[in-house]
A and B are shown apart, each in its own frame.
Chain A
Amino acid sequence: MNFSFELAIFGSTIAVLIIMGFLLYFFVQDYRKSLLSKEMETAPKEQANAYLSRIRRELSFSAFIMDDSKSIGIRYLITSLAFFFIAGLAGVGMRISLWYPNPSYLTPIQYNILLTEHGTLMLYGWATGSILGLGYYLLPSLLKIKKDSLGVLNSIMYWFFAVGGLLLIFSKSTASWYFYYPLTDQLTQAGGGQFSFAALIGVLFILTATCVASIIFLKMIFLDRDEKIRISSMSLFVWSIVATAILIISSAPISMIADGMVIYDLINPIYFTGANSTALGYAIMFWFWGHPIVYVAVIPAFGLIYELLPKYVGKPVYSYSSGVIALLLLMIFSGTVWGHHLFNSGLGTLWDMIFSTTSFIVAIPSAITVFNWIATIWSGKVKLTLPMMFILNAIVDFIIGGVTGVMQSDVGVNALIHGTYWVTAHFHFILLGVTTGMAFAAIYVLFPTFTGGRRYNSAMGKLHFYLTAGGTYVMTIPWALGGFEGMPRRVAGYFGIFQSYQDAAAIGGVILGIGQLIFLINFVYSAYKPVTISNDNILEEASS
């Protein structure tokens, strides 16, 4: 037989990869052992993992091989931050391209690819991913869990999440985050994109991971927590995860079924066409989950506010019980309002009446929550640290977002602003101010733990805050004003009359982008400074 040079290279590459895999495995095992205490080294995996999940843990890439809850949390946090930066880049790119009324440096197809990547990655990759990450990371310490099982399942589900995100990026779908039928099934670049079904499979992967993680959160909370923590005294962050998990489990599957039906319709169109059904069938099934996901993105942020606020004003939450009740009411009511995304689609007057009324009702628990925060701040003295600044801004942004939300729930008003940048403004106030702001607040609070006792640069942190909060207003206020005059969203070009709004918003988008770069620089720069403080943090309390 002849000597084959290619085969030799191929073979030795495989051999090197296997050796590296082994080395990596032993290196991580070593790291794991160094974290475990003496008596835990011989303990069964369930208990050893529970121990690992309760101690203070640094960000480490070893987490990608270990499978205790905190490691899974670290994986989700790292990955979701990566998705945030990719999606943010897409957002800033779209904003800049809209400087001129005609498509400038992005062609319409490129614009639409960025639009789809931004919407899906931000909601499924960043908002959902960071919540799963914080849940996995914080719940074990907050609940002092006794055992940590199902690590393998958690690990597999994380990989589903990661691969799903990659599918969203590389499918180059142009179907937008709704994936409406029949656009998604037009497999051309002019329609939903040649591989829009791959993006749908990505969404299905992520939602599968999200549902499984939700069930595991509920198991951790109701079965595995320390008996000394009674249900009636669980922290409000834990309650917010309860509400979120139930909301996910009760609504995401409907949308997953619809996604599957759309994929099936590619081969054999029977579900959303034909005599008994129209494309609206998909829209209805989609929004049954499409509304809850926005509350999924925001309820854990409420939990973080409840958790952090008392520590910065020196007083307990004004009313614990009304806090819990409001979170649970939000969970229940937000399952009933999805029709407000379809007011002009011809659901019929009666359905419009029902959905607009439930949308007004959902504002009541929101108002209770806001009052609870204001009353808490009122009773104490505010210590204006960086996380506290994010909290105060989140409260303001949520009030603005909530008021704009109630306004557009009026059917008459909705016919004026649906499909315009007004809606985009409504949700960026909340998704940037509350969801993203509170995720950053939590990251800053946890920074000493993440880096094993380092301090972030607080001047750069403040700059990040001012650019993020300020940029949000500079971007969204012109959107809201333009939207009220009929400036359409999701367009690669627009009527010249809207240019001043678009340009102002582009400046806001660039400010936001610079702010996030400063965060990144601060994070990397501070993580390599010498250790100066303890690695404890106020979110996990002093426990072990």
Chain B
Amino acid sequence: MKSKTLFELIWIVAVLIILTYAAVANLSYLSTQQQNIANPAGGDPPGVLINVTGYQWAWQFTYNNGTVMTDKLVLVANTTYTIVVTSKDVIHDLYIPQFGVQVYAVAGHPNKVSFTPNKPGTYIMECVEYCGEFHYEMRGEVVVLS
């Protein structure tokens, strides 16, 4: 009986500490790194701007100088980029796992997110919002040049 009460106390305190820690870490991340998570586009985004359009079933990247690329994104290491993402048809979701970048592509609701790649190399990129027959082929590569 004694040890059970002790266990109960430890359980309550441990759960509360873990959850409070998680909540505080999350809130401080959100309030300081806002630009690194998906948000409605607008304002004055930092870094180089790239416009992204998703459609069934490919990604189109438009650079400021007018270059257009499909299913391939070329970046330069240690440069900050802001992507503004939207869709021509259904909802898509651009995801670059190695960068922890993820943002929905919704027609009429452009979203933005900023990131700074720091290691040169080739990475994967995929659509992770189910969008019809060839959803699985809506993927490509991200090349980071040094």
Contacts and interface: CB of A to CB of B under 8 A. Distances in A.
B79 interface: no
B30 A349 contact: yes
Given A353-B30, A406-B22, A495-B124, A378 B90 contact: no
B19 A363 contact: yes
A375 B132 CA distance: 48
Contacts of B145: none
Contacts of B7: 375, 378
B146 interface: no
A488 B33 contact: no
Contact of B130 (A103, A279, A415, A490): A490
A232 to B, nearest CB: 23
Interface residues of A, number: 62
Interface in B92-110: 93, 95, 97-98, 100-104, 106-109
Contacts of B15: 363-364, 367
Contact of A346 (B16, B25, B111): B111
A148 interface: no
B37 A412 contact: yes
A275 to B, nearest CB: 9
A415 B108 contact: no
Contacts of A56: none
Interface in A295-324: none
Given A349-B34, A420-B128, A489-B128, A344 B133 contact: no
A189 interface: yes
B26 interface: yes
Contacts of B116: none
A37 B89 CA distance: 64
Secondary structure call for the B interface? mixed
A374 to B, nearest CB: 8
A378 B40 CA distance: 51
B109 A280 contact: yes
Interface of A: 103, 108-109, 112, 115, 174, 176, 178, 180, 182-183, 186, 189-192, 273, 278-280, 283, 343-346, 348-349, 352-353, 356-357, 360-361, 363-364, 367, 371, 375, 378-379, 406, 409-412, 414-416, 418-420, 485-486, 488-495, 497
23 contacts: A103-B136, A112-B132, A112-B133, A176-B130, A183-B130, A190-B56, A191-B132, A279-B107, A346-B38, A346-B109, A349-B30, A353-B26, A356-B30, A357-B27, A360-B26, A371-B8, A378-B4, A410-B25, A416-B102, A419-B93, A420-B128, A486-B126, A488-B95
Interface of B: 4, 7-8, 11-12, 15-16, 19, 22-23, 25-27, 29-31, 33-34, 36-40, 56, 89-91, 93, 95, 97-98, 100-104, 106-109, 111, 124, 126-137, 139
Query: Considering the complex of A and B, which 9 residue pairs feature the smallest CB-CB distances, nearest first?
Result: A486-B97, A419-B128, A491-B136, A346-B111, A190-B133, A345-B104, A415-B102, A490-B130, A278-B109
